[in-house]
Structure 1
């Protein structure tokens, strides 16, 4: 049930992690698309400015040269005169009866009054004419060319045919201009009409004004979808640009003759520019994803460690139960034997072996309890080393002597460094280190025990003692875990190896507390070597 729950936790947290990472990636891609769209819009606006500036400047240069060549002298003066004749004016004529005395006679006349107003100069002029009759007025109109209109009170006259003649002459001149311009566009090629250096300067200046600081290159394509070639090229003009990856704009957007000339601008560092704009958000998202991943990693690690710890505790309980059963059964048998009436009648020699058995099993139980208590103390970290002056050869000899009493089918030898090897250490814990290492070598020996304990003085003044066995050895994948608490090399459900995963963990803890070093070397099937380096040697 517990394993089932752990699997569900791992599955749910994995799904949550995947969703969170996916959301972060989605937001990053959305931001990239938004910045890409803004970049494209900005580039299109800039290219529009470039096209308009280039077109206006080119038209100004072209027509300045054209007017300077074609409209000089009399032709230019005539055009100027015709334009002046077309200035907007307002003219009106009124007719009324009047009487004039001639030689004492009262003679009837028609008074024709004309008024002209110039809307540009804001000047006005009046003129009056007297005629005797309608026929004389008609003759005057024919001579003056005034168009008239009349009602019951007056006749109004507007612009005459001279204006129409002026318009006709003007249209003739404009027609001549258009024919000449069309002839130029029809005869001159694209590379003759385009000044590449001038275009290059406009592009560079516009990019600088828009603060677009990135590498670029451009090319012009004609109506045949071919790159326009020039006699000489600028650094930015590149005929090898891939059009599909470039931004484009009509080079002459207001000119029907150059409608098919397209300007393509390529930005090789486009993605770099976009990432440069989104890197703060990208960095935050990346750090957030890393934090989430690390958090889930720590969570998974904790769950896995919890599972391993639970399994190790169950294994410990199983092994401890097995180990406790043996001495308890032995003591029970000894007690039953001592209760036997026939034994009690004899002498003490028959009872003595059972008493010795009880004492040994009691010590064994005490040792098991001590290991558990020491492990609990080490877990709480509430212990201090009581350092005193010790001698390494002496303390190793004592440990080997006690261990030999438990060996009946093998050898336990010593190789001690000559002389005294004094150092400062906790006597109890140092003795326990030696005892645990020798005990571990005995447990993992083969049928015939072969163990060597050595002491050495190193060249730098430190001491080293080693416990070398020719036992079953440890596989490479387990060698780094043997000092972990409750860790036992897997042997299945067979209890042929004694141990609880506490001894080596205790050794490691005391060695580190003493500021020493411990190393383990093993070859599976050939044996294991433990080395303890006693550093910071203090002498009297």
Structure 2
């Protein structure tokens, strides 16, 4: 974990760059689809115009009187010269009256030009004879849009003269929303054109991008979740590593202390004449015995954690009559407490559990020992049992509310700045919970500072 911060910075920076590039690509895609949508709307207007002018003779009867255009009719002749479309306007006698030039782009689709030519010719033939109704063009334009799955809120067409005057159609000023527009010139000679107004097709564009946006969003969420989980896991591992180092350092010191004291007491017995001083001899022996007992407890704690880590550890289940079992543990705790301890056992004499005797004894020893440590000079502990489970309650100093969620974590110790006399390693309650979990039981705690704590063990359903 030495270079974790540097690696994390590099990874986060790389992912940030990729995210920015991804957003840039999405914006470019949005703009490209928007341009394509405008082209589709323009094509829809052309399709609607061609359908309208070709269907007009079928829909409306021929007028009784057809205007005589003899000598007045005009026609067009077109040719492509290089990159320019030449349009020659001819009068009724075939004389060129006007020449127009239309530059062609390199990507010009000549089939589109042919379709436009058909439309121009149809207008020249149909417009002088059959009446034009803007409503027909509106409906065909909307139908063409719907075929392309484009459904703007507003879509209508205006007929515009060469000087920009609205000849026919709804005024865009009547619509409160902002409208976009496309136009086509249906009569090159007169300059008349159709202008289609439509509300923003943003919904259509977003629908086209929906799959990409959702997949991109899902990938971003997955990456963010994976990074969060990675950083969280590494952070927890670093915390555990620091706590483990503290545990090893503290345990090393604690192991050396009883060894040194016991060695000194034993050295005094060997090097001084204590045979004639029975009181001094007894005192040295008691000192050595007490320190060796303390050393044994430390070793037991280490072995308990080591055994818990062996997932293949098997428990030997026995039928245990709970009241005498707990009373025996309570008697041992009273003898070793070194202060006035009252332990009340309120368990029905017939209550029996199926559990590993050794590990269950360690569970009660840990809970009662903690209650003794974190109480005052006068200790009152109550162990009760019933259908709701087994409770170990004390009237000690209690646990701060902010520490309650963590007390069963390995190596965690509740900070008590004013309790320097209490030593511990943060493995007792962790061991308790681990063993109870393996037995299929559970444990919870309720505590209030200054009033004490209540640990409740829920016995498995099969008990």
In 2: Cα distance, 1:508 partner to 1:369 partner? 20
Residue 393 of structure 1 contacts residue 455 of structure 1 at CA under 8 Å; is this kept in 2? no
SS in 1 for 2:330: helix
TM-aligned CA deviation for residue 528 of structure 1: 1.9
SS in 2 for 1:480: helix
In 2: Cα distance, 1:379 partner to 1:278 partner? 52
What does 1:29-428 correspond to in 2, within 5 Å?
29-54=27-52, 65=63, 68-71=64-67, 195-208=133-146, 210-212=147-149, 214-220=151-157, 223=164, 228-229=169-170, 239-240=174-175, 242-243=177-178, 245-250=179-184, 252=186, 254=188, 256=190, 258-259=192-193, 262-267=195-200, 270-347=201-278, 349-428=279-358
In 2: Cα distance, 1:392 partner to 1:398 partner? 10
In 1: Cα distance, 2:173 partner to 2:154 partner? 6
Rg larger in structure: 1
TM-aligned CA deviation for residue 241 of structure 1: 5.0
Residue 13 of structure 1 contacts residue 296 of structure 1 at CA under 8 Å; is this kept in 2? no
Encode CA deviations 1:507-532: one digit per residue, 9 max, x unaligned.
11111111111101122333222111
TM-aligned CA deviation for residue 382 of structure 1: 2.5
Report the aligned-residue RMSD: 3.6
Are 2:451 and 1:526 aligned?
Answer: yes
Question: Taking structure 1 as the reference length, what is the TM-score of the superposition?
Answer: 0.66
In 2: Cα distance, 1:8 partner to 1:14 partner? 10
In 1: Cα distance, 2:300 partner to 2:289 partner? 16
Residue 134 of structure 2 contacts residue 157 of structure 2 at CA under 8 Å; is this kept in 1? no
TM-aligned CA deviation for residue 61 of structure 1: 8.5
TM-aligned CA deviation for residue 215 of structure 1: 4.6
Residue 55 of structure 1 contacts residue 252 of structure 1 at CA under 8 Å; is this kept in 2? no
Gaps of 5+ in 1: 84-165, 172-184, 186-192, 231-236
Q: 1:255 to 1:501 in 2, by over 3 A?
A: farther
Q: Which moved more, 1:366-375 or 1:11-20?
A: 11-20
Residue 184 of structure 2 contacts residue 195 of structure 2 at CA under 8 Å; is this kept in 1? yes
SS in 2 for 1:69: coil
TM-aligned CA deviation for residue 537 of structure 1: 4.7
Q: 1:218 to 1:281 in 2, by over 3 A?
A: closer
Gaps of 5+ in 2: 74-91, 98-126
**Corresponding pairs, count:** 407
Aligned match of 1:121: none
Q: 1:450 to 1:275 in 2, by over 3 A?
A: farther
Q: 1:44 to 1:307 in 2, by over 3 A?
A: same
SS in 2 for 1:262: strand
Q: 1:395 to 1:9 in 2, by over 3 A?
A: farther
In 2: Cα distance, 1:19 partner to 1:45 partner? 39
Q: Which moved more, 1:51-60 or 1:335-344?
A: 51-60
Residue 138 of structure 2 contacts residue 156 of structure 2 at CA under 8 Å; is this kept in 1? no
Aligned match of 2:103: none
SS in 1 for 2:447: strand
Are 2:442 and 1:512 aligned?
Answer: no
